[in-house]
Amino acid sequence: MRNKWKFIYSKNKWIGPKVLEALKESTGEVIVFLKDDDLFEQNKLKTIYNIFKENSNLGFYRHKVKIINEYGREAKLPK
């Protein structure tokens, strides 16, 4: 796995055009979105990379998310 990062800054205030700008600049095989309120677990990128590597027909992957509180602990949402 290559560690090739590219940070893209957009002055556009709408998310749709920002995503399109980023996709046009992308050159990698796998694209992962990290929004401003997201935290990635330590091995998330490696895990995602391996999932795509092991499943060559995979075009999209969605994983579970954890909601955390202001203390960094997993929050339980009301049912």
pLDDT in tens, the chain (79 residues): 456 677 778 899 998 999 899 889 888 788 888 777 787 888 988 999 999 999 999 988 888 888 888 888 888 877 7
Within-domain flag for 41 = yes
Within-domain flag for 6 = no
**Domain range spanning residue 54?**
15-75
Which tokens hold the place of 43? 């091995």
* pLDDT reported for residue 3: 64
Within-domain flag for 59 = yes
Does the pTM surpass 0.75? The reply is: no
Number of structural domains in the chain: 1
